[in-house]
């Protein structure tokens, strides 16, 4: 009565697909880094929300998020875990923690139907099957071709770095 949350007698709907875009330190987010650098007068904007002093708290939160997402998957479902961080501690180690804790969790390799040349900004993470997109803050204008509809083609990846893992439930 009036309690927020769930108890053991409640039945939760399970899902075929779950996306966990986890809170992270934003160390791969070029826009956040550039904003902090360009605002020296604003100390609160200059300092990252997550740092070495509270990183264990952040990783604990990420483990709670990934496990909650996994618990909402039905058998045969697929979860994508992502962050805008390039830290092993926030990415591969969180995913490995889930794999170790839940026997029914398994990796599904992330892949794209593009040539390696087109995806030169992407590399496999330290956990097989995961991927990292490396940050880039500059666009090469020779790679940009705008169409009449305003869509951009032939764009070299530009923006923040991020991490993706795809996890299945047996």
- CA-closest candidate to residue 129, choices 155, 157, 168: 168
Say which range, 12-26, 29-43, 78-92, 120-134, has the weakest mean pLDDT. Answer: 29-43
Q: How confident is the model at residue 25 (pLDDT cuts 50, 70, 90)?
A: low
The label of the residue with tokens 């169409």 reads 147
State the average pLDDT over residues 114-121: 68
What local confidence, expressed as pLDDT, does residue 116 receive?
Answer: 62
User: 113: pLDDT confidence band, cut at 50, 70 and 90?
Assistant: confident
| Count of Cβ atoms closer than 10 Å to residue 71 Cβ | 13
The mean pLDDT value of the chain amounts to 75
> 44 phi and psi, to 5 degrees?
-70, -30
Instruction: For residue 146, list its beta bridge partners.
Output: 152
Which residues lie below 8 Å from residue 64, measured CB to CB, with a gap of 6+?
A: none
Out of 20, 84, 95, 105, pick the active-site residue: 84
Percent of the chain with pLDDT over 90: 40
The span from the CA of 73 to the CA of 3, in Å, is: 24
Q: Is there a catalytic annotation at residue 45?
A: no
pTM over the 0.75 mark: no
pLDDT value at residue 86: 83
Q: Which residue has the higher pLDDT, 145 or 111?
A: 111
95 vs 84: which has the higher pLDDT: 95
Structural tokens at position 116: 């390696």
Per-residue confidence (pLDDT) for residue 105, from 0 to 100: 98
CA 115 – CA 46 distance, rounded (Å): 39
pLDDT of 6: 54
């Amino acid at each position: 009565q009036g309690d927020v949350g769930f108890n053991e007698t409640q039945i939760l709907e399970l899902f075929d697909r779950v996306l966990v875009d986890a809170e992270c330190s934003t160390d791969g987010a070029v826009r956040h880094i550039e904003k902090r650098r360009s605002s020296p007068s604003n100390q609160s904007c200059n300092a990252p929300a997550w740092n070495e002093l509270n990183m264990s708290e952040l990783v604990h939160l990420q483990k709670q998020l990934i496990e909650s997402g996994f618990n909402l998957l039905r058998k045969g479902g697929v979860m994508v875990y992502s962050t805008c961080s390039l830290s092993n501690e926030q990415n591969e180690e969180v995913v490995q923690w889930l794999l170790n804790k839940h026997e029914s969790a398994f990796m599904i390799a992330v892949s794209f139907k593009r040539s390696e040349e087109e995806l030169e900004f992407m590399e496999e993470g330290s956990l097989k099957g995961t991927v990292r997109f490396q940050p880039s803050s500059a666009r090469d204008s020779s790679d940009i071709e705008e169409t009449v509809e305003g869509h951009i083609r032939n764009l070299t990846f530009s923006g923040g770095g991020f991490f993706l893992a795809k996890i299945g439930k047996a």
